[in-house]
Amino acid sequence: MPYIRDRVFILKNEVFREQDARIVMYGQDHGKLIAVARGYRKMQAKHLGHLEPLAEADVMIAVGQAFDKLAVARSAVTRPELRHDLSAMAVMGSFASLVEQVTRPGVSDAEIYDLLCELANVWQGKQASPERARLVLAAASLRLLDILGELPDMDGMDDGKASDGAMTLLRFMRLRPVRDLLSVTAPSVLFTETSAYVEAMIERSPLVTSLHGPSTIHSLLA
């Protein structure tokens, strides 16, 4: 039986049958992976705690005919502060959902894995307003579109629907690390305008229909 070994970022963990879980991951070497963790929902399960959404783990997956099975999983990077920060959880959950939507098994890109890790590391000791958290999500989403080759030409993006300030911020978001947005000083209305522009861009993309999460971010943090 062939095996896949990789370090992965957990995107989704959902019920599969009575005691099992279906784990959707994005691997550093293999891209999107989907495997079943047998008995995961039992209290004594060996994988319990290693496969929570937004965690990083080292895994070994047994390739099967009907579905792949998770043979080994060990936590690789722990970020306890992430789960105590509502802004971090709202943004990371929304971005993980977007990555899950726009990627497919068999196509790998280490830049996407690195972007997930970069976004997860932004929140160490940082707090964000609803408008800034939404902007951080928009920036990561913009970078994801760029990696996938679905970002419009930045020079041709000025279609009159965004102000000069929003266009400047868009170009900044594309080129600079996501963490830099936590120190940008600008009116919150500019953050909102720029985020809305990116969300509309995503809706026009052939990859997805919408970016889930902006309303959740505001309801949690406002």
Tokens representing residue 64 in the block: 């099967």
Q: What is the pTM of this model?
A: 0.86
- Pick from 77, 100, 124: which residue ends a domain? 77
- Pick from 13, 46, 77: which residue ends a domain? 77
Q: Are strands 56-62 and 31-37 parallel, antiparallel or unpaired?
A: unpaired
**In the chain, what is the straight-line distance between the N-terminal and C-terminal CA atoms, in Å?**
51
Task: Name the residue with tokens 């722990």.
Answer: 78
User: What is the per-residue pLDDT for 199?
Assistant: 87
Indicate if 143 and 163 belong to the same structural domain. Answer: yes
Indicate if 88 and 188 belong to the same structural domain. Answer: yes
Indicate if 118 and 57 belong to the same structural domain. Answer: no
The boundaries of the domain holding residue 159 are: 81-221
Residue-by-residue pLDDT tens, the chain, 222 positions = 599 999 999 999 888 877 888 999 999 999 999 999 887 666 555 655 678 888 899 999 999 888 899 888 898 887 877 777 888 888 899 999 999 988 998 888 999 999 999 999 987 766 788 899 999 999 999 999 889 888 776 655 555 677 888 989 998 998 899 999 988 999 999 999 999 988 888 888 777 666 776 766 666 565
Distance (Å, whole) CA 164 – CA 132? 19
Task: Name the residue with tokens 């992430």.
Answer: 82
Indicate if 61 and 94 belong to the same structural domain. Answer: no
Indicate if 52 and 28 belong to the same structural domain. Answer: yes
Indicate if 145 and 192 belong to the same structural domain. Answer: yes
CB 45 within 8 A of CB 27: no
- Pick from 48, 77, 106: which residue ends a domain? 77
